[in-house]
Amino acid sequence: MGQDPGQGQSQLTDDQKSPEELRAEIEEVREDLGDTAAALAAKTDFKTRAREKADELKRTAAGKKEDLLSKAGRSPSGSTSKGPGALTQARSTARQNPVLVAAAGALIGGFAIGRLTRRGE
């Protein structure tokens, strides 16, 4: 008698949801939207992405340097376990022609960065 006619229904239809269910669904959508916005912001932060790529390249180059030095019979500290070889000759040539070495390094670095940025697309 003193109740709303809608309060007497104990079961809601599939199209109707309780306010608590709607609030929970809204909160879930908000969280998803927040995660999506954060992911987009991270993708558009080019400065940070470039810094991460540079750090990755540095780590890769350091690892390859150690591999090459160990293959050439040198420890990373510079001590040799074998006599003079191709590495010594390459080092002396590089000291005689620093501009050529810098140009080759820039070319290789540009190529590597170009390959890495294309790989992410």
The tens digit of pLDDT for each residue in 33-88 reads 999 998 888 888 888 888 889 999 999 999 888 888 888 776 555 555 455 677 78
Q: Is residue 2 part of a domain?
A: no
Predicted pLDDT at 116 = 84
Residues 71 and 112 in one domain: no
The pTM is what? 0.33
> How many structural domains is the chain composed of?
2
Residues 70 and 92 in one domain: no
Residues 92 and 117 in one domain: yes
Q: What is the largest CA-CA distance in the chain?
A: 105
Q: DSSP assignment of 58-120, as one string? A: HHHHHHHHHHHHHHTTB-TTS-BSS-S-HHHHHHHHHHH-HHHHHHHHHHHHHHHHHHHHHHT
Q: Is residue 4 part of a domain?
A: no
Residues 27 and 57 in one domain: yes
Indicate the SS3 state at residue 8: helix
Q: Is residue 29 part of a domain?
A: yes
Query: Is residue 22 very low, low, confident or very high in pLDDT (cuts 50, 70, 90)?
Result: very high
Distances (CA, A) of 25 to 11, 33, 34, 51, 83: 19, 12, 14, 38, 72
Residues 64 and 100 in one domain: no
Q: Which residue has the higher pLDDT, 76 or 30?
A: 30
